[in-house]
Structure 1
């Protein structure tokens, strides 16, 4: 398994929020839902996206905007349009003054807006929660990333499926959103001059690429740098140096982060003992896992599972 596949293969969209938004100027929506990740595909018209602490960015038809939470952002017809609606947590929408929006703004299956025939159509897909395996992925993204002119049939397919009301449709939309996220992120990280994270760029390296795949395939194996180098067909010194140069941290440090991310995901699933999780991710005992987990996260595995965090210390991806 390669690095990006592993980051996206664990927690997947479950009950994601999807919507076809049709608007006529002037309009502006402020999003304060705290969701970890949202994708907006512009199908017609255009939109300006303004992060909480950033400059407005224009999105034209065919563009895809990726907003990394939990900070708020605004989507509007113009950069200076004042917000008219606010999206709160649990996708609750109100006007700027706290009143519910007009009933006429919902005009079909997963269709919402101020004008059914408006010139701007946006396809919105929001991940409402995610597990800790995605922490590296989220950390690699800016608050706002715009992929211009995304040429993919997936956009048209999402436009068709998002307004369908068929048996099992929520699951179909979840899987389709996952597929679009993977495709968009691959295109985003592969752009010329893109500031791709080290683990993505290192995937194609003849030495570090195989080593990364080995770590993601077998995170519980009792790896040493020497063992990893032998499997990857390189000397210990060459692997250690090249891994550090490309990924930005030593192989065993990367492995520790990977193991603890998998442990956090399993803890959130809630159906395995700490001892079983420890063995599954490569720790000899529950005590060893607990010590490593608290050292990195600042909370014990049980506190993490229960969602109890010290004030001001809400882990990324929690």
Structure 2
């Protein structure tokens, strides 16, 4: 498995908040949900993304927008100067300014809302509610706002997503989640393949030395890898391998492996009820003690404390900020 596949495989929607908005100007939505990731597709009309920490970004029909959070709040509007009509909080609840009341347009579909059924702007939005450690690796390689045009492979997905949003059938949430995932994958691949967004990490996937080594690490993170073993498998000297890996990936091979193992362990602790021993084995640590020592050294807390903190956060108890 190449690095992008490994990361995207962990970036899966699960009960994502998906909505179609039908809007007539003037309109403006303030987004304060602090979601890890939002995918926005404009199918009709135009809109502006106005981030708190940057310049306004124009979105045209056919654009796919990735909005990375948490901590990157923004406004979506027909014009950067439009007065804010509604604020969306962390529970996806709207708060309106006096005199404004958008509504769910049930005549247009079960997940459709807006300020005018005949509005000239049509926007599809999918919000990822939970972010794993592994998917965070991918998101951190992206700017806070990514805008890419729809490619030929994604256009049918958008049409299908628009149709499926309006339906309410058995298994509908899963269908919408997977369509959202495919749109995300297409947008990420398009963005990284643009020479203007040159990334050593992305180029490493096709490197004849580093690419195979990354696949070995991702396919079998529990193997007792060493620099010598990896260099032997890809057919170069130890020194050449270490230098080339570090230059492209941005960190030495063993440091990358430790980070990958601990992120896998963190995701397992958060997503499953596996024992600490089972998590340690899956992540490449022979014993729970070895995992705990590495976790404390790199993250400043024990695996058990991390699991408890994440459980409280997902129950709405406390923020998930790392200590």
- Rate the CA distance shift 1:100–1:223 in 2: closer, same or farther, 3 A: farther
Unmatched tracts of structure 1, length 5 or more: none
Is 1:7 aligned with 2:10?
no
Is 1:307 aligned with 2:309?
yes
Counterpart for residue 76 of structure 1: 77
Deviations 1:222-262 (A, max 9, x none): 00001011112222111111101111100111101100000
Q: CA deviation at 1:199?
A: 2.5
Q: CA deviation at 1:302?
A: 1.2
Counterpart for residue 189 of structure 2: 186
What is the root-mean-square deviation of aligned Cα atoms in Å? Answer: 2.0
Q: CA deviation at 1:11?
A: 5.2
- Rate the CA distance shift 1:211–1:293 in 2: closer, same or farther, 3 A: same
Aligned length: 313
Please tell me whether the aligned partners of residues 37 and 66 of structure 1 are also in contact (alpha carbons under 8 angstroms).
yes
- For 1:313 and 1:63, the matched residues in 2 are separated by 32
Q: CA deviation at 1:315?
A: 3.7
Q: 1:278 aligns with which of 269, 280, 289?
A: 280
Please tell me whether the aligned partners of residues 270 and 305 of structure 1 are also in contact (alpha carbons under 8 angstroms).
no
Is 1:289 aligned with 2:291?
yes
Please give the TM-score of this superposition, normalised by the length of structure 2: 0.92
- Rate the CA distance shift 1:118–1:79 in 2: closer, same or farther, 3 A: same
Counterpart for residue 94 of structure 2: 93
- For 2:257 and 2:63, the matched residues in 1 are separated by 35
Residue range with higher mean Cα deviation, 34-43 or 265-274: 265-274
Counterpart for residue 259 of structure 2: 257
- For 1:91 and 1:127, the matched residues in 2 are separated by 12
- Rate the CA distance shift 1:14–1:20 in 2: closer, same or farther, 3 A: same
Instruction: Give the match's secondary structure for 1:43.
Output: strand
Deviations 1:5-26 (A, max 9, x none): 1112135211001111111100
Please tell me whether the aligned partners of residues 102 and 114 of structure 2 are also in contact (alpha carbons under 8 angstroms).
no
Counterpart for residue 222 of structure 1: 224
Q: CA deviation at 1:105?
A: 5.4
Is 1:139 aligned with 2:140?
yes
Please tell me whether the aligned partners of residues 64 and 150 of structure 1 are also in contact (alpha carbons under 8 angstroms).
no
Counterpart for residue 148 of structure 1: 149
Is 1:20 aligned with 2:20?
yes
Deviations 1:248-284 (A, max 9, x none): 1001111011000000010012411112111111112
Residue range with higher mean Cα deviation, 284-293 or 166-175: 284-293
- Rate the CA distance shift 1:15–1:232 in 2: closer, same or farther, 3 A: same
- Rate the CA distance shift 1:104–1:261 in 2: closer, same or farther, 3 A: closer
Please give the TM-score of this superposition, normalised by the length of structure 1: 0.93
Counterpart for residue 58 of structure 1: 58
1:124-135 maps to which residues of 2 (within 5 A)?
124-135=125-136
Instruction: Give the match's secondary structure for 1:290.
Output: helix
Q: CA deviation at 1:160?
A: 1.5
Please tell me whether the aligned partners of residues 61 and 149 of structure 1 are also in contact (alpha carbons under 8 angstroms).
no
